[in-house]
Structure 1
Amino acid sequence: MSKDEVIFRRFAPADTDNVWHLHTTASQDVGVCSPEGTWGDDLRNIGEVYIKSGGDFMVAHIGSDFAAMGGLKPLDNDVVELKRMRVHPSFQRRGLGRRILRELESRAVALEFKQIVLDTTTIPGRGSKTL
């Protein structure tokens, strides 16, 4: 494995601290500071919330650095929600967001979901986009 090779894989419990760090770093970089409390509970319990519920959670790393992540959280038997997509600021503008999205789309197909939905937060003062 080269130091620049991107590895995509399923979340493992040992990744919990790295996932939390990536989440907070990427969120702060765009000016979003999550409130304390239950808002981040899903990231502290990825195995139950995403994987055991029938969805998935993927991480990407370059060498030992966590570069990107994202989850699939089932809403019902046919619909899965795309959640917690993040790319570390140091690795942005390299196509990692697109690549982690493709990995998650492939997982959704393999898990036999028929639809992927996305809900996103609007940052005050930055406007919003319709996808």
Structure 2
Amino acid sequence: MRIRALRYSDPVVRALEDELQQEYVARYGGDDDAPISPEEFEPPHGEFLVGFLGNEPVASGGFRRYDTGIAEIKRMYVSHEHRGGGHARRLLAELEARAVSAGYRRLVLETGTKQPEAIALYTSSGYSDTEPFGYHAHSHSSRYFGKDLDLASRTAAQS
């Protein structure tokens, strides 16, 4: 999978976002209406990535500034026909590396309880439960995770 940074407003990203919103409708009964501004995913404070197999966009996700030294992972998604191939894990690793390069030392994220695949990805990638935060902080259908970016990763990304 080849990974490229694209603007959150790019038509390729918008198409993947539409698929993701349909996923939310199927699992939760409605769109995720958490406010997102495309500028939040602009360097130097954020970035939005898309994974391609050939010319086909198959995975997406981004990070944005949450607090000093902390970024939030948002909108991780892999298209249905490409799940199970390690694309989410590869994209997450790239997001982590780019967050380190942007100067972040910790990542946080929120995912839904009806997304066991996402929960399994995050826990197996070193994320642990953290305090609720953000737009869905009072939702009973959300889980919150955080991960400190280790010094070795930060050093490698900065060299």
Tell me the TM-score normalised to structure 1 length.
0.74
Q: CA deviation digits over 1:1-56, x for unaligned, max 9? A: xxxxx21011146x622222212324434624416xxx2763xx53x121156111
Tell me if the contact between 1:29 and 1:89 (Cα under 8 Å) persists in the aligned partners: no
Q: Contact 2:52–2:58 at 8 Å: present in 1 too?
A: yes
Do structure 1's residue 55 and structure 2's residue 49 form an aligned pair? Answer: no
1:118 corresponds to which residue? 109
2:42 partner amino acid: I
Cα offset for 1:93? 0.8
Question: Which letter maps to 1:7?
Answer: R
Q: Which runs of 5+ in 2 are unaligned?
A: 124-159
**Matching residue within 7, 12, 18 for 1:18:** 12
Q: Does 1:98 align with 2:89?
A: yes
* Cα distance between partner residues in 2 of 1:129 and 1:59: 21
- Cα separation, 2, equivalents of 1:59 and 1:117: 20
Greater RCO, CA 8 A, separation 6+: 1
The answer on 1:34 being equivalent to 2:25 is no
**Shift >6 Å, 4+ stretches:** none
Partner residue, 2:135 = none
Instruction: Please show how residues 45-84 of structure 1 align to structure 2 within 5 Å.
Output: 45-46=37-38, 48-52=39-43, 54-84=45-75
Identity between Structure 1 and Structure 2 (%): 27
Could you give the per-residue CA deviations for residues 38-78 of structure 1, whole angstroms, max 9, x where no partner exists?
x2763xx53x1211561111111112211101110101221
Query: Hey, what does 2:151 align to over in structure 1?
Result: none
SS at match of 2:112: coil
TM superposition score normalised by structure 2: 0.62
Residue 3 (structure 2) pairs with residue 8 (structure 1)? yes
**Counterpart for residue 3 of structure 1:** none
Residue equivalent to 1:85:
76
